[in-house]
Amino acid sequence: MSLNHTSKYAELTDAHFTAIGKVVVEWSNIEFLLRTILARLLFTAEFLARSYTDRLTAAKVQEAIDEAVEIQRSRYGAKIVTDSILDEIAAINKKITLLRNTRNKFAHFCWCRSTDYEIFGTRFSGGVPNPKRERKDSVVLSVTELEAFYRDAYAIVDSLEKLVSKLPELEEESLNQRLA
């Protein structure tokens, strides 16, 4: 049974749902912009790139970005995308990796209210209980922590949008003109 459906005292409050919703929306923005950055690093029209990147997890997209950054440096000598922009991309990619652990808990844990100001999540992992996994299998988050995560994710989205604008874009219109 879902945790937040067990009793009216376990159900998340509107403040909990609002905070979680903000986190989920900003993470979606992060994933979309990561795919856009990868497309631009690979000199591919964004719509065409989505046929490939939509099948990748966010973690795999980030790995591909790291590879594309290294290819830009080693193969193209950072002549098309400058070292400073590549450094920015690598740095923000690391920040996103740090946030992913918390994001994954939202996506894969079952949640209920601990108090009006905290939520409790558990993975309901199978297998034999293990003290090492205990800390990974459950978490308590405050609304304040959720709001801080949201602010961090929001700032990352702003940074990603600025990075996208610095990268060369292969516009689909130019491809269509070549095909005509």
What DSSP string runs through 147-167? HHHHHHHHHHHHHHHHHHHHS
In a domain, 180, yes or no: no
In a domain, 71, yes or no: yes
pLDDT at 88: 98
In a domain, 178, yes or no: no
Question: What predicted TM-score, i.e. pTM, was given to this entire model?
Answer: 0.86
Phi and psi dihedrals of 138, rounded to 5?
-150, 160
In a domain, 179, yes or no: no
pLDDT at 174: 72
* Residue 5 confidence (pLDDT) above 80: no
Which of the four pLDDT bands, split at 50, 70 and 90, describes residue 175? low
Number of separate domains in the chain: 1
Phi and psi dihedrals of 44, rounded to 5?
-125, 140
Look up the domain containing 135 and give its range: 3-171
In a domain, 16, yes or no: yes
Which of the four pLDDT bands, split at 50, 70 and 90, describes residue 172? confident
In a domain, 176, yes or no: no
Taking only the tens place, the pLDDT of each residue in 40-80 is 999 999 989 999 999 999 999 999 999 999 999 999 999 99
Taking only the tens place, the pLDDT of each residue in 100-152 is 988 888 888 888 999 999 999 888 766 666 666 666 788 899 999 999 999 99
Mean pLDDT of 89-97: 97
In a domain, 23, yes or no: yes
In a domain, 177, yes or no: no
Whole-angstrom CA distances from 144 to 20, 149, 175 are 11, 9, 47
Radius of gyration, CA atoms only, the chain = 20
- Alpha helices by DSSP H, listed for 42-168, are 46-53, 58-74, 83-108, 131-137, 143-166
